[in-house]
Amino acid sequence: MQKSNKSIAGYHLLMILSSVDGEFAPEEGLKLQEYLAEEFPFKINLDDELDVIATLHADQWKDHFEFHAKCFFDDSTEEERKDFIKFAKSLIKADDKVSDQEHDYYMILKKIWNLN
């Protein structure tokens, strides 16, 4: 897998977080759009990134998630990671329920980033 920059890695992380429970809630979609507006104030085509995510099998999500967590880590400051983890938490809580899978992936992110 080719290394991603922080913004693209964040997109992958949020897409997996919002889908890992088998449901992509409209509220999660709104949170994702908030991230996109902030990280990509210019027009960008994320179709290729979405294709990569969409073609993953569920048993590949964890490895893909961990890879992009490390990419984000490499290109970010501790403050950026803390801000992102808060945003990720707001994303998984957006539909007023946090599944075990969402919680597990959130904790993986915290562990990789040493934010425990």
Task: Tell me how far apart the alpha carbons of residues 28 and 17 are, in angstroms, rounded to a whole number.
Answer: 9
The residues, any chain, with a CB within 8 Å of residue 74's CB and separated by 6 or more, are 3
pTM of the model: 0.93
User: Closest by alpha carbon to 105, among 20, 8, 26, 22?
Assistant: 20
Q: Which domains does the chain have, with CATH numbers?
A: 6-112 (1.10.3680)
Task: Tell me how far apart the alpha carbons of residues 21 and 114 are, in angstroms, rounded to a whole number.
Answer: 24
CA dihedral 41, 42, 48, 53 (to 10 degrees): 0
Full pLDDT tens readout for the chain, 116 residues: 789 999 999 999 999 999 998 888 899 999 999 999 999 888 788 898 989 999 999 899 999 999 999 999 999 999 999 999 999 999 999 999 899 999 999 999 999 999 98
Q: Could you tell me the two tokens for 112? A: 């990789």
